[in-house]
Amino acid sequence: MDLAVQTRGDWELILDVARWAEDRGLVAIALPDHYLERGDETERPAYDHLVHLAALARETTKIELVSLLSPVTFRHPAVYYKMGVTLDEVSAGRFTMGIGTGWLDEEFTLFGLPYPDQGTRFELLDECLAYLTTALSTDTAGFEGEHYQLSEFDPQPRPRNLRLLVGGGGSKTTPTLAGRYADEFNIYACTPEQYAGRRDLAEKTAAEAGRDPGSILFSTACPAVAARKESDYRRVLAMLAERTRSTPEHIEQVYEKRGYPHGSGSKAAEMLDRLEEAGCQRFYPQMFLRNPEDFDIILDAYRP
């Protein structure tokens, strides 16, 4: 399985993580798109991740740059298209654009961003992905939807290697959309049985749409809480509990129930192996702590 990383924070931290990730041979660095770091902590700064990714494109040379991921109501599909092809250009084809329905209610409310009901957001996501697929192809037929329209012309520039990512934890609609449109499907960490079911549905939908199911990269992500040594694991767990205003006991209960790879010794790597057997090909451990010196300890716990 390929290993990547997801992080967030200020520019200094993100650049440190990106350089560390390239040095360690990780395949990708992903940033989430949130205008609040957490819904109940408005005092913590949150930055525009697409601007950070553009800056990373000039500060890195090999690693893939991934938007994981943008809420569909943050930007019109035309804006996603133009930002995507521009990031594709400045990164020399290393950018993946991720789009989802959004879920952090407070950021929409506080900033006054559109946030219709979930059913409507899935309609918007479907149309947005169809719009982008048309704009990125050589097809000049245009797109006519209820919410978005693209005229019959060939939008320029043509991307070098821009990829679309669909992500989420849903069991039906999200895998269906991924099967229709995604180059990468990020299934948020779950049990191996759940993962296999969502992958199967995406592959089935892709085949029905005339796409090659084998062309889809299947990935996952979850908060990184792991270490080979028990003492290191307990320290990382305590830091996460403090940051999230939780308790170590609660975090472990939730992670065990949801199937998030975590723990000390070989446990995290073994849990990741079971996800790989279910079809997962890439793992993004979410390293949101401000302790880059601990990243090696965490990463090594996910490797056999």
Question: Average pLDDT over the chain, rounded to whole?
Answer: 94
Average pLDDT over residues 160-188: 96
**Given a cut of 60, is residue 39 above it in pLDDT?**
no
**Given a cut of 90, is residue 217 above it in pLDDT?**
yes
Look up the CATH number of the domain holding residue 22. 3.20.20.30
**Given a cut of 90, is residue 290 above it in pLDDT?**
no
**Given a cut of 90, is residue 243 above it in pLDDT?**
no
Q: What is the pLDDT of residue 40?
A: 56
Q: Which long-range contacts (CB under 8 A, 24 or more apart) does 12-19 make?
A: 13/290, 13/292, 14/52, 14/56, 15/55, 15/56, 15/59, 16/292, 17/287, 17/292, 17/295, 18/56, 18/59, 18/60, 18/63, 19/59, 19/60
Tens of pLDDT along 90-138? 999 999 999 999 999 999 999 999 999 999 999 999 999 999 999 999 8
Given phi > 0 = left and psi -120 to 50 = alpha, else beta, which region is 266?
Answer: alpha
Q: How sure is the predictor about 37, in pLDDT bands with cuts at 50, 70 and 90?
A: confident
Question: With contact defined as beta carbons under 8 Å apart, do 175 and 143 qualify?
Answer: no
Interatomic CA distance for residues 87 and 198, integer angstroms: 30
Question: With contact defined as beta carbons under 8 Å apart, do 87 and 53 qualify?
Answer: yes
| pTM of the predicted model as reported, rounded to 2 decimal places | 0.95
**Given a cut of 90, is residue 207 above it in pLDDT?**
yes
Q: What is the pLDDT of residue 65?
A: 98
The total number of structural domains that make up the chain: 1
| Angle formed at CA 182 by CA 179 and CA 183, multiple of 5 degrees | 120
Tens of pLDDT along 189-206? 999 999 999 999 999 999
Q: What is the pLDDT of residue 138?
A: 81
Interatomic CA distance for residues 258 and 275, integer angstroms: 12
CA nearest to 44, candidates 13, 84, 87, 5: 13
Average pLDDT over residues 146-164: 94
295: its two tokens: 């990243």
**Residue located via tokens 């089935």:** 204
Domain span including residue 99: 2-301
Question: With contact defined as beta carbons under 8 Å apart, do 2 and 281 qualify?
Answer: yes
Q: How sure is the predictor about 41, in pLDDT bands with cuts at 50, 70 and 90?
A: low
Q: How sure is the predictor about 288, in pLDDT bands with cuts at 50, 70 and 90?
A: confident
Q: What is the DSSP letter of 189?
A: S
- Report percent pLDDT > 70 for the chain: 98
Q: How sure is the predictor about 291, in pLDDT bands with cuts at 50, 70 and 90?
A: confident
